[in-house]
């Protein structure tokens, strides 16, 4: 793949990721997101998966589950209300997905979050939190001689050198820096 094509895909994917975070409460279809990236849906899905490491709907589902986990830990909203807000049709479906993602049921997660750090958790406002957690990518092992790089945006950040970009080259794509 040409470097210019790769840069274009990175920028377009960054724009789509920004849109996903801004419109997480809305129904987000593959077709709509592909239109925002100026690609055909099949091609966009392939490019998105290559860059982010997850299929589009799986990424959206993980963001919604992360946001639900944040709300469970920081608010007193009913679990059913959080499940419905996360686009699950039932509490049972939400519980299955939550347990699969985090290895614990939503109610136990809430209990443990409250008991582990009650003074460190700020209660959420009635709406959704301003900053949403992003699914973390598997970090590459750091070599013993090289200093650890400064943490970038949590989730899918890698140094520009791994992308074939110069370190001084500014990232393209708005407020999100998307790296492979």
Residue-level pLDDT at 114: 78
Q: Taking the CB of residue 146, how many other CB atoms lie within 10 A of it?
A: 7
Q: Compute the half-sphere exposure of residue 150: CA atoms within 13 Å on the CB side of its CA.
A: 2
Give 125 or 163, the one with higher predicted confidence: 163
Q: Which of 16-20, 64-68, 107-111, 176-180 has the lowest mean pLDDT?
A: 176-180
Sign of CA dihedral 123, 131, 162, 165: negative
Six-digit token string for 164: 């074939």
How large is the angle between the packed helices 56-74 and 106-116, nearest 10 degrees? Answer: 50
Whole-number mean pLDDT of the chain? 75
SS3 56: helix
In angstroms, what is the C-alpha Rg of the chain?
Answer: 18
How large is the angle between the packed helices 3-22 and 41-52, nearest 10 degrees? Answer: 90
Give all domains of the chain, ordered by start, each with its CATH number: 1-53+151-180 (no CATH), 54-136 (1.10.10.60)
Instruction: Read off the pLDDT of residues 157-174 as tens digits, 9 standing for 90 and up.
Output: 344 444 444 444 444 444
Q: Compute the half-sphere exposure of residue 127: CA atoms within 13 Å on the CB side of its CA.
A: 6
Residue-level pLDDT at 115: 78
Q: Taking the CB of residue 137, how many other CB atoms lie within 10 A of it?
A: 16
Instruction: Read off the pLDDT of residues 64-109 as tens digits, 9 standing for 90 and up.
Output: 999 999 999 999 999 999 999 999 999 999 999 999 999 999 999 9
Residue-level pLDDT at 84: 94
| pTM of the complete model | 0.64
Q: How far apart are CA 102 and CA 132, in angstroms?
A: 16
């Amino acid at each position: 793949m040409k470097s210019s094509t790769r840069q274009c895909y990175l920028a377009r994917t960054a724009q789509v990721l920004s849109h996903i975070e801004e419109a997480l409460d809305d129904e987000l279809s593959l077709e709509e997101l592909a239109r925002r990236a100026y690609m055909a849906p099949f091609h966009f899905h392939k490019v998105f998966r290559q860059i982010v490491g997850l299929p589009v709907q799986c990424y959206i589902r993980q963001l919604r589950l992360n946001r639900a986990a944040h709300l469970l830990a920081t608010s007193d909203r009913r679990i059913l209300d959080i499940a419905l807000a996360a686009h699950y049709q039932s509490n049972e479906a939400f519980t299955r997905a939550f347990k699969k993602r985090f290895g614990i049921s939503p109610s136990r997660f809430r209990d443990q979050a409250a008991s582990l750090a009650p003074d460190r958790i700020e209660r959420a406002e009635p709406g959704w939190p301003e900053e949403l957690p992003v699914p973390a990518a598997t970090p590459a092992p750091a070599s013993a001689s090289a200093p650890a790089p400064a943490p970038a945006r949590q989730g899918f950040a890698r140094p520009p050198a791994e992308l074939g970009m110069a370190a001084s080259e500014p990232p393209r794509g708005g407020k999100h820096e998307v790296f492979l």
